[in-house]
Structure 1
Amino acid sequence: MECLNRRDLGLLVLRVGTGAVLAAHGSQKLFGWFGGGGLDATAQAMEAMGFRPGRPSAVAAGLGEAGGGALLALGLATPVAASAAAGAMAAAVSVQAPAGFFNQAGGFEYPAFLGFTAAAVGIAGAGRYSLDHATRHRFDQPWVVAVAFLGSALAAATVVGRRAQDQPDEQPTDAAGE
């Protein structure tokens, strides 16, 4: 009988925990589960945050989180799952960045942590206790890591860049508000 490998066990715990949190957040967006608003409310919120059109943006964010999170938890197509989740978190960071770093002030600490954690697992690999291992890493090849993360980075940069262009320019005002 093969002894449990601490590294692989650690990756399992990290993968399942991070994936479950991401999947829950995505399910709030897509289905209204766990107290979420569902797709219509998420689409309205996405429009208000400058992501246009709102509904496709809501679907993309929800799938990046729910789908990426579920696949990450299972350890299936880990580089693709992780890059989708990290890309979704990059967009969340762009929304919360004006509030600073710390979460208690509405900052980007939490989505950044989820995105970096997902990315780290995607780069490290899912480990022995995963569906990637069971499928002999069919969906976890070195070229998949490179393509998935490059694609996600380009998509996130495009989405965040478009959002930034759509935001109204804030004009400085004097003390009288003029």
Structure 2
Amino acid sequence: MSLINRKDLGLLAVRLGTGSVLAAHGSQKLFGWFGGAGIEGTAKGMEQMGFRPGRQSAIASGLGEVGGGVLLALGLATPMAGAAAAGAMAGAASVHVPSGFFAHQGGVEHPAFLGYVAASLGLAGPGRYSLDHFTSHKLDRPLFLLLAFTASAAAATAVVGRRTAALAAERLDADEDADADADGGRP
């Protein structure tokens, strides 16, 4: 039997690549690394995108990306890591959906793909070359998988729903202001 298993090696490569990209993006948000805005700039951006409160949204998004990414790369608590990263990417994808699919048009392609791969790794497991394997999969159990993905889906649904409601309220206010201006300020 070969000492190197191709599937486990493939999972390691996907975990390292995906985890690194996620962690880098989260580091931009949390720490301002790699040309990012840092927590204050990200918080302002989150507010403008309809995520309220902005600071808490920036922290949650950054932690989902950094934490999920690092844990995926290490292959530790893989179901929770995949679910956290997928949830963070669901929020990011909601911002990009109006621009269509392709990334070069500002579309959903990049966050959707990262979320899809993170979720897939959470479901598939980390493979032999991982800390989960080293720890006898203590944090990689079916119950953790169920709980992590249920919690992530519920949180992402709530966050995206709140954002959608906030943006709709802003549009309604803007429409009412425009109508009032058109009427010369008459009620």
Matched, 1:169 2:145: no
2-side partners of 1:83 and 1:127: how far apart? 17
Q: Sequence identity, in percent?
A: 63
3-state DSSP class of the match of 1:55? helix
Give the counterpart letter for 1:146 in structure 2: L
Output the amino acid matched with 1:44: K
Q: Please show how residues 35-54 of structure 1 align to structure 2 within 5 Å.
A: 35-54=35-54
In 2, the alpha carbon distance for the partners of 1:7 and 1:145 equals 21
TM-score (norm 1): 0.94
Corresponding residue of 1:175:
none
**TM-score with structure 2 length normalisation?**
0.90
Instruction: Determine the C-alpha separation between the residues in 2 that align with 1:131 and 1:157.
Output: 30
Unaligned runs of 5+ in 2: 176-181, 183-187
Matches within 5 A, 1:143-158: 143-158=143-158
Partner residue, 1:81: 81
Residue 169 of structure 1: how far off its partner (Å)? 3.0
Deviations along 1:85-136, one digit per CA (max 9) or x if unpaired, are: 0000000010010011111110000000000000001000000000000000
For residues 20-54 of structure 1, the C-alpha deviation after alignment (integer angstroms, 9 at most, x for no partner) is 00000000000001111100000000000000000
Matched, 1:69 2:94: no
Give me the whole-angstrom Cα distance separating, in 1, the residues matched to 2:97 and 2:72.
26
Amino acid at match of 1:15: R
The gaps in structure 1 that reach 5 residues or longer are 172-177
Count of residues in correspondence between the two structures: 172
Equivalent position of 1:174 in the other structure: none
After superposing on structure 2, the runs of 4+ consecutive aligned residues of structure 1 that deviate more than 6 Å are: none
Q: Distance in 1 between matches of 2:82 and 2:37?
A: 24
Query: Following the alignment from structure 1 to structure 2, what is the Cα–Cα distance between the partners of residues 110 and 2?
Result: 36
Counterpart code for 2:155: A
Q: Would you say 1:106 and 2:93 are equivalent positions? A: no
CA distance in 2 between counterparts of 1:56 and 1:91 reads 13
Whichever residue aligns with residue 66 of structure 1, its letter is V
Structure number with larger C-alpha Rg: 2
Q: How far 1:3 sits from its partner (Å)?
A: 1.6
Counterpart AA for 2:150: L
- What is the letter of the counterpart of residue 65 of structure 1? E
Partner residue, 1:17: 17
Residue in 1 that maps onto 2:134: 134
